[in-house]
Chain A
């Protein structure tokens, strides 16, 4: 059944649905999830394609092994991004992906635009387009409840948008469950532009496994090894907030829009332990053994009655330190507001941080912002989130994201720390050079999830690094040496993970002992019957990444765009544990040269003709 999952093409303009098999050569070339999504998007991607036009396809893709026993059951959502104007792609956990495959589908390609708000009902090989008029303006949790109630089925899984998506906030998210988000690159705004409120899925079909006994045995062995890693043990106890502590202690955290990179002892207020009083247990996405997500409840104080899941490190950084905000309860509440409205917490925090620095420097004033915008003003942050989601006043300007540069004028540009028109996140990459390169080369604009070689934090012996990466890599966190290789290697592995439906945290990310190609190859074979060597899988990673790069090349992107914010090159970190760290142009260029060479791209970052030929891609 894994290989018989279908692709459905849904056109909302003429309400047509066409269902096709996934050709076997496509599976062999791209696996599923992100890989096949990219293949489908690349057919129509051009510089002229308007992200808000009916022609922009919104593509849902479950990983090849989503719904089976593996290392996650995730789904990728892909389209041209209204946030950056370039490639859009976001990966989401929860139970939605598994339900989609139980209903018999691997991919949904949604084009067109409905005249009225609609939702899709996907159930056991059938797809219907249904009226969603009564659910307009409901938030993302209310929407899911309303659909389950209307259809009297608590097991329906729903991916939906909230008011932010309906109002075309450029960084609107698509959400499922209480917390899971396809957050970055504005896929929720694309969904809103199509008048598509939700995709509801329900499946009861069997997932047949090629060699059940051996699959179970192999999985249990791999699982045992994974659960023995310190990384997964810590993750299951503290969740991603444990990463906050590292970033603060080492000095690669964003404070006040990256004006500094550590808050020292003040960081205790936001560390993993500080979350303990609110946490009421740890939860998992479908099929995940790590349970990295807190369930929380605020039982007293200003935000009494707020409950949900999270918050994650990315939100604590983006809505916290990046805004000079150290009030954990306010951060939790702000995160919940973004989730309810269906808005990416990372981008929301980043654009507010931009506005706060512009206000600090007098580049914008109350005449534009309506209210004062001081660092750490939790009340102002909440108010802005409301105003962005509803596109009211100054909120409507910030809802434009990086495109607000046109409104803020020339002086504002250096204070939005963006790459390829997409804002950097909760971290500062002047100290970790591998992280910096990964941000500069990510195919969806400034993003840590394309490569982030977290292994670099561990300072592993160089002989170990050489064995993993197949060439020399410095074990010094702040060194440029070999970091091009490191980033390249993780970009490929992550592209494969996203195409299998696996989670970063359960594969080689922060532990060298976590599963990677060898283990993937085994599970693919035993689950699906597809024989694929570890080497073939790595080539698939290169094919996916290079195909993504080719779409960017169509936008005119090249080496000149694979760069970092001016502040990273010109301003050394002023204080704290990473004091004095800055990116040198020579060091950065050296990493980029090595990185392009390994990808088979030319000095300008354009994939070479022979590389494309080898990968079976056409220019």
Chain B
């Protein structure tokens, strides 16, 4: 299961970021959300929602021991893993990175994405 992004449809509202941090941490902070919208609001280019693509290969865990399956279910990661991500998909704030755990099967961001830029793909 992963979240598919259609950036043509993203309105740049940031609601996905807000509900992500609210669901996981009980606070609202775009910098502590596993999804973030990359946008240049002074240009007319498309907005790009970035989040973990749930790659099979998981370059982010290179050099680490232990169970990938367990790590996939965690929201707060070390920033070092984010640095290894080939897509720069994880948000970093302070020493932490924020990783999409798919809300343990019930992704919250999709529920508030009214333009339909985020969809679930099995």
Contacts and interface: CB of A to CB of B under 8 A. Distances in A.
A178 B11 contact: no
Interface residues of B, number: 31
Contacts of A282: 11, 115
B27 A141 contact: no
A157 B11 CA distance: 17
The main secondary structure of chain A at its interface with chain B is mixed
Contacts of B11: 281-284, 288, 291
Interface stretch (A184-192, A203-211, A491-499): A203-211
Contacts of B115: 236, 282, 291
Contacts of A154: 40
The main secondary structure of chain B at its interface with chain A is mixed
Interface stretch (A212-220, A509-517, A584-592): A212-220
B19 A216 contact: yes
A68 B40 contact: no
Nearest to B10: A281
A117 interface: no
Contact of A69 (B18, B26, B46): B18
A287 B13 contact: yes
Contact of A295 (B14, B27, B44, B108): B44
A227 interface: yes
Interface residues of A, number: 46
Contact of B44 (A216, A220, A227, A280): A280
Interface in A258-312: 280-291, 295-297, 307-309
A535 interface: no
A289 B44 contact: no
Nearest to A289: B114
Nearest to A207: B28
Contact of A144 (B18, B22, B42, B108): B42
A456 interface: no
Contact of A68 (B9, B28, B93): B28
Contact of A207 (B27, B41, B111, B114): B27
B15 interface: yes
B86 to A, nearest CB: 21
B99 interface: no
A289 B28 contact: no
Nearest to B7: A281
A300 to B, nearest CB: 16
Contact of B41 (A178, A223, A227): A178
Interface string A1-12: 100000000000
B12 interface: yes
Contacts of A289: 13, 15, 112, 114
A339 to B, nearest CB: 12
B23 interface: yes
B27 A208 contact: yes
A177 B42 contact: yes
A286 B28 contact: no
Interface string A142-153: 001100100000
A95 interface: yes
A281 B47 CA distance: 10
A309 B12 CA distance: 13
Interface string B30-47: 111000000011101011
A220 B42 contact: no
Contacts of B29: 102, 204-207
A216 B23 contact: yes
B71 interface: no
A78 B78 CA distance: 44
10 contacts: A69-B15, A95-B14, A102-B30, A205-B29, A209-B22, A236-B115, A280-B44, A287-B14, A289-B112, A291-B114
Listed from nearest, the 9 A-B pairs whose CB atoms lie closest are A284-B13, A291-B11, A284-B11, A212-B26, A207-B28, A206-B27, A289-B114, A307-B44, A206-B29
Interface of B: 8-9, 11-15, 18-19, 22-23, 25-32, 40-42, 44, 46-47, 93, 108, 111-112, 114-115
Interface of A: 1, 67-69, 94-95, 98, 102, 141, 144-145, 148, 154, 177-178, 204-209, 212, 215-216, 220, 223, 227, 236, 280-291, 295-297, 307-309
